[in-house]
Amino acid sequence: MSSNYDPLTNKHYYESNINVIILFGLTELKTYVTWNEAGINKRSEASIVYD
C-alpha cells in the first residue's frame, strides 16, 4: 500500500495493488486475494457472494 497526494483535490489517498485468484473445481469455486507486502507475497481467502 502506498500513500499518494492529488494536487487537484488537495487530498491524500492510499493505493493498493491486489490480485484475485479464482479456482474452478468440479462442484465449487474457491477465491483468494493476494498482495505483496514488503517483498513477501501474502494470501487470504475471499468469499463469493451470489446475487
| 25 or 1: which leads in pLDDT | 25
Q: Give the pLDDT confidence score for residue 10 in this predicted structure.
A: 93
DSSP string across 1-51: -EEEEETTTTEEEEE---EEEEEE-SS-EEEEEEEEETTEEEEEEE-----
| pLDDT over 90 at 51, yes or no | no
Tell me whether residue 22 is in a domain.
Answer: yes
| pLDDT over 90 at 2, yes or no | no
Tell me whether residue 2 is in a domain.
Answer: no
Tell me whether residue 5 is in a domain.
Answer: no
Number of domains in the chain: 1
| pLDDT over 80 at 1, yes or no | no
Tell me whether residue 1 is in a domain.
Answer: no
One-letter amino acid at 24 equals F
Q: What is the pLDDT of residues 7-47, one digit of tens each?
A: 999 999 998 899 999 999 888 899 999 999 889 999 999 98
Tell me whether residue 33 is in a domain.
Answer: yes
For cell 493505493, name the residue. Answer: 15
